[in-house]
Amino acid sequence: MPKPKPKDKRKTKEKKASAQGEEKKRFHTSGPRPLWSGTITFGLVSLPVNLYPANRPKPVSLRMVDNDGTPLARRYFCEKEERVLDYDELIRGYEVEKNEFVVVEDRELESLAPEKSQEIDLKRFVGLDEIDPMYFERAYFMTPDKGVTKAYRLLAESMEATGRAGIATFVMRGKEYLVAIIAEKGILRAETLRFAEELRTPDDIPLPEPSKADKNRVKAMQQAIDALVEEDLEREALQDQQSQRIIARAQEKLAHGEDVIALGEEDEPEVEPEQGGEVIDLMQVLKQSLAEGRPPGQEARDDAGKSQPDKRGKPAAKRSETKKRPSGQRGTGKKAAGQGDGKAAPRGKRSAKLAELENLSRDELYERAQQLDLPGRSRMSKAELAKAIASVR
């Protein structure tokens, strides 16, 4: 009996409509959690918000496999001891001179962010068109927290009506960001901006000083420009043709059953796509959490925080069983509890825990890693965090 998979994201519309109830439930238990939760302050008004990426990863993220098709994981290893290191054996260092490092703990880095910096304090509003294109970096949607929609709507409507964007700095995950808070169609968005010091000026390059050009040449160029003018831009013009070529070729191979390897669903989480970002139905999540004014997955958060008793000794299903299954049978596979075949004692013990941890969002994993004071956690991917936490407990 094929079971719906939590990671089965890019569905067709028909499928979505029929599975709406199911979908909804699922997002409350395993949907993506916000990247950041914090507070916008506007005068004395405080407005708790959640941040979700407004940019999706590229449609194609290829992962590395070995010649047998086993997905590989990126790991750190010690050259002297010739072995893979666990995350609790790693520390973070800043190279002050060649091969001389100052060790910095994450706890110390966190202490550098003052309390206030967890807030987006809107002390200044500017005309949106005043911000030079060069400054814009990335976009995040903001959803109101816990049904507190009034202040959110009030701010969105007032900003939109006045054509203004709020400007602030705040600290998220060990980095300070300059943001423009923009309201569009009743939705607040945070656009991170580059700091002035991150941008070069033409003088820094340096580029030649503008000088007068030949009149006839300019005229000819202008005519060539005019000949190509169109008033609008449809989204299709911005399609990623390179990714689409790869997808088309993959579909061709799939149709011929050529180089296709079926994976058990639990094979997935350990190996992150190379280009980063969770592949999620962000739209569904945002739609829901904006409409309801509540981040999805909230009720799941409490149970997820508690650790279940360790299913000691229960070995994970062997990869070899799931790996070479013919593609027709995919999705019927047994629940493999994470990675590893249980032959090395500490790993076997960990794998059950891993499977459980991998159901959590990166944010939650990060929180746990923070409690455990794991070194290097802010640079870890979701899978790496899960692994690091599992190896401690």
Considering only residues 174 through 203, tell me which ones interact with another protein, judged by CB under 8 A: 174-176, 178, 184-187, 189, 191, 193-200, 202
Both tokens of 188, joined, read 């607040």
CB of 299 to another protein, least distance (A): 19
> Is residue 17 near another protein by the rule CB under 8 A?
no
| Interacting positions 115-174 with another protein (CB under 8 A) | 115, 117-119, 122-127, 130-136, 139, 141, 143-146, 148-159, 161-162, 164, 167, 169, 171, 174
CB of 303 to another protein, least distance (A): 21
Rounded Cα gap, residues 313 and 327, in angstroms: 30
From candidates 113, 301, 359, 367, binder to another protein by CB under 8 A: 113
Rounded Cα gap, residues 179 and 124, in angstroms: 11
Stretch that binds another protein, among 17-25, 27-35, 280-288, 306-314 (CB under 8 A): 280-288
CB atoms closer than 10 angstroms to residue 122: 21
339: CB partners within 8 A, 6+ apart = 267, 270, 316, 319, 347, 351, 354
Phi-psi region of 265 (alpha: psi -120 to 50; beta: other; left: phi over 0): alpha
**Cα angle vertex 140, ends 135, 141, to 5°?**
135
From candidates 80, 98, 303, 309, binder to another protein by CB under 8 A: 80
Nearest to 15 by CA among 331, 273, 281, 256: 281
Binding mask 19-38 for another protein (x = CB under 8 A): ------------------xx
**Cα angle vertex 390, ends 384, 393, to 5°?**
145
Q: Which is nearer to another protein, 83 or 334 (CB)?
A: 83
CA 159 to mean position of chain CA atoms? 28
> Is residue 16 near another protein by the rule CB under 8 A?
no
Binding mask 218-257 for another protein (x = CB under 8 A): x-xxxxxxxxxxxxxx-xxxxxxxxx-xxx-xx--xx---
Q: What one-character DSSP code corresponds to residue 35? A: S
> Is residue 388 near another protein by the rule CB under 8 A?
no
Q: Which is nearer to another protein, 130 or 299 (CB)?
A: 130
CB of 203 to another protein, least distance (A): 10
Would you state the torsion angle of the CA atoms of residues 248, 250, 251, 252, taken in this order, to the nearest 10 degrees? Answer: 90
CB of 300 to another protein, least distance (A): 20
Q: Do 259 and 253 meet the contact criterion of CB atoms below 8 Å apart? A: yes
Binding mask 284-323 for another protein (x = CB under 8 A): --xx--xxxx-------------------------x----
Q: Which is nearer to another protein, 157 or 299 (CB)?
A: 157
> Is residue 385 near another protein by the rule CB under 8 A?
no
| Interacting positions 316-355 with another protein (CB under 8 A) | 319, 327, 330-331, 339-341
CB atoms closer than 10 angstroms to residue 158: 13
Element (H, E) at 227: helix 215-227
